[in-house]
């Protein structure tokens, strides 16, 4: 049995407009997941719990930057990048969100950083976009850290709906899109614990 979830554009960082199918054999984005039931794995990458896969080149960045603030973890950051772009550094949404972190140009202009120290802030470069995504998450967390409730859920809600909405409603606002976004990230995060294999 499949459950269909529709995710639309976010206020702060638009997510790709998706119809994700959650069910046997597919990921939240409808992307194929690896099959390790026979002891092997398909493709290359770090093997993750629940057979989710993250390309090898992003594991170190996500582990490093996923602890940027108390509300963020490598698992939350991985689930968020997976939801935003499916780990595709070349992803572009109809709402002009770009790269693995799906930054809109205005948000990138104010929050993008030169994560790899090469003198450029490149939204298409995961070495810049992943640290920028972590820093942006922590920026919105700082805006809502005085709001009661779960800090991580409030951060994700602020990322999706904006810090003002989280403050106005004293937590996750009553927007179905935002509630879905928070639930998807929180549910997916445990499966992004890196394991050997």
What residues act catalytically?
A: 84
Q: What's the angle, vertex CA 85, arms to CA 82 and CA 89, rounded to 5?
A: 110
Q: What's the angle, vertex CA 133, arms to CA 154 and CA 18, rounded to 5?
A: 75
Q: What's the angle, vertex CA 87, arms to CA 99 and CA 102, rounded to 5?
A: 30
CA-to-CA dists, residue 8 to 79, 93, 103, angstroms: 17, 10, 14
Spatial distance between the Cα atoms of 161 and 7, rounded to a whole number of angstroms: 12
CA-to-CA dists, residue 193 to 27, 63, 113, 178, angstroms: 16, 10, 26, 24
Residues whose CB falls within 8 Å of the CB of residue 109, separated by 6 or more in sequence, listed in order: none
CB 173 within 8 A of CB 166: yes
């Amino acid at each position: 049995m499949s459950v269909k979830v529709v995710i639309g554009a976010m206020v702060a960082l638009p997510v790709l407009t998706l119809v994700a199918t959650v069910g046997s054999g597919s990921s939240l984005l409808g992307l194929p997941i690896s099959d390790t039931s026979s002891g092997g794995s398909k493709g290359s990458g770090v093997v993750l719990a629940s057979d989710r896969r993250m390309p090898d080149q992003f594991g170190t960045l996500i582990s490093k930057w996923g602890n940027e603030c108390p509300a963020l973890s490598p698992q939350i950051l991985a689930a968020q990048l997976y939801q935003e772009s499916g780990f595709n550094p070349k992803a572009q949404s109809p709402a002009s969100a770009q790269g693995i972190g799906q930054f809109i140009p205005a948000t990138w202009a104010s929050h993008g950083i030169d994560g790899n120290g090469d003198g450029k802030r490149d939204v298409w470069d995961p070495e810049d976009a992943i640290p920028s995504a972590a820093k942006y998450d922590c920026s919105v967390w700082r805006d809502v850290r005085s709001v009661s409730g779960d800090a991580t859920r409030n951060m994700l809600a602020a990322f999706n709906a904006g810090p003002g909405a989280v403050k106005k409603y004293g937590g996750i606002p009553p927007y179905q899109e935002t509630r879905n976004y928070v639930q998807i990230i929180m549910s997916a995060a445990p499966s992004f614990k890196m394991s050997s294999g």
